[in-house]
Amino acid sequence: MKKISTPLTDQMINSLKSGDEILLTGTIYTARDQAHKRLSDTIKKVKKMPVVLGGQIIYYCGPTAAPRGKAIGSCGPTTSSRMDEFTPLLLSKGLRGMIGKGRRSEEVIKAIKKHKAVYFLAYAGCGALISKFIQRVRLIAYKDLGPEAIYRLEVKGLPLIVAIDSRGRSIYN
Amino acid sequence: MRIISANQINDAVSDLCIRANIDLRKDVLQALKRAYLKEKNRRAKRILNAIIKNASIAKREKLAICQDTGLPVVFAELGQDVRIKGDLKSAIRKGVESGYKKGHLRNSIVDNPLLRGRPSYRGAVIHLDLVKGNNLKLTVLPKGFGCENKSQVKMFNPTARIEEIKNFIIDVVKTAGADACPPFVVGVGIGGTADYASFLAKKALLRSVRVSKYQSIKVVAKLEQELLREINQLNIGPMGLGGRATALAVNVETYLTHIAGLPVAVNISCHALRSASRVL
């Protein structure tokens, strides 16, 4: 299986093809519904972003609380399509990768192709298993959103499937 | 008159929330293992293997099977010869809150659907039924919303053919697709009113996924078997990436209805179908 480290480079993204199974090591940021709404409002109002999106990967995930002695609780992917209305704007601000589950809209696929990004799938409904690949967690923004806050995760060897590659080819087609 | 205290209820609900969320139902786990053995698609097999492994890690390390620990749906069947000392519904809600906190489960509940606000551990959907006897049976079904969002109800004409009903159910499954985390357990409620059919569809998820054995009405048993066979030919598969395992079971519940109608509701569960029961 191909091993990929963050930050994602153009060359790396180019080499990924829809259907590839990879192991990801490095830094990713969680964000789901409400965080997307806030990030999108911040961009529209031209205010300071809590995360610099350039070159980064967003993981659609709201983890459970970490039990004592663990970095994180259960932390699988949530349904990506709910983020579709915000995604093209985030991609236009430099976001390069997304991790989630399920299909994306035509607009998102077009934006992925335009901005040479990539959309990965994580094993859906396997939050306990995925927690094994997360080494460190840090709260970055929107603490009031609880599990929907933005967390920075350091991951090692996280298994992912390339669902939409930078040429806009989807695993579902 | 038997007395059950609010404290007993609170403690039982708290334990059930934790048990349901970390210890996958035995019938569901066995169905997943059977699906793994039957699966021929290699990627689907790898995903099913991860799902089975996930259940064992969750149980061993007392972690939630899925980070979406759901909106707790609590079924309380109260014997009419029981007197509750204290407030039943508030005991259930307190039990949910303490179980979710203690079990490191997720605070996924917002007080108002329009105002949203800060997520909390407080709240449940409670279905209370008065039955004969002097027991209280409590069941907690934590329902994740990836699959709950795909629920549908359709009011058919009473003259509708069985094929029309089947096509509707299969279309709901197709629409749910990858988003709702297949392989599914498909809960179907037929009859009653629009709301009651929805309730039956949810209740159908509590039945064992070893379908036909538990279905006494022949025509319904046949419908369950045919639907399961047809759904597993859709090639949706685990994570929607193809394969045989699109559904583990189709559970249909029926009820009397009006001469002018035929309500059909579908409530899909993801592969992490979690529930736990206890009789007080």
What's the one-letter identity of residue A153?
L
**pLDDT for residue B166:** 98
- Alpha helix ranges (H) inside chain A: 10-15, 33-44, 87-92, 106-114, 127-131
Is A36 an annotated catalytic residue? yes
**pLDDT band at residue A173, thresholds of 50, 70 and 90?**
confident
Residue with tokens 């996280």: A158
Quote the pTM value.
Answer: 0.95
Chain A residues close to B241, C-beta within 8 Å: 121, 161, 171-172
Using one digit for the tens of pLDDT, what is the confidence trace for B152-206?
999 999 999 999 999 999 999 999 999 999 999 999 999 999 999 999 999 999 9
| B213 or A97, which is more confident | A97
- For A151-168, b where at least 16 C-beta lie within 10 A, e where not — what string? bbbbbeebbbbbbbbbeb
Chain A residues close to B68, C-beta within 8 Å: 62, 76, 78, 127
Instruction: Identify residues of B whose CB sits under 8 angstroms from chain A CBs.
Output: 47, 50-51, 53-55, 57-58, 61-69, 104-108, 116, 118-119, 146, 149, 177-179, 181, 239-241, 270-272
**pLDDT for residue B172:** 98
Residues (pLDDT < 50) of chain B are: none
A68/chain B closest Cα distance in angstroms: 10
For A59-83, what is the HEC assignment?
ECCCCCCCCCCCCCCCCCCCEHHHH
Is-cis flag, bond preceding B113, omega within 30? no
Under 8 Å between Cβ of B252 and B220: yes
DSSP assignment letter at B186: E
Alpha-carbon distance of B158 to A21, in angstroms, equals 49
| Catalytic entry in A6, A12, A29, A36 | A36
Nearest to B239 among A34, A61, A101 (CB): A101
Nearest to B61 among A65, A128, A145 (CB): A128
Helices (H) and strands (E) in chain B, counts: 8, 10
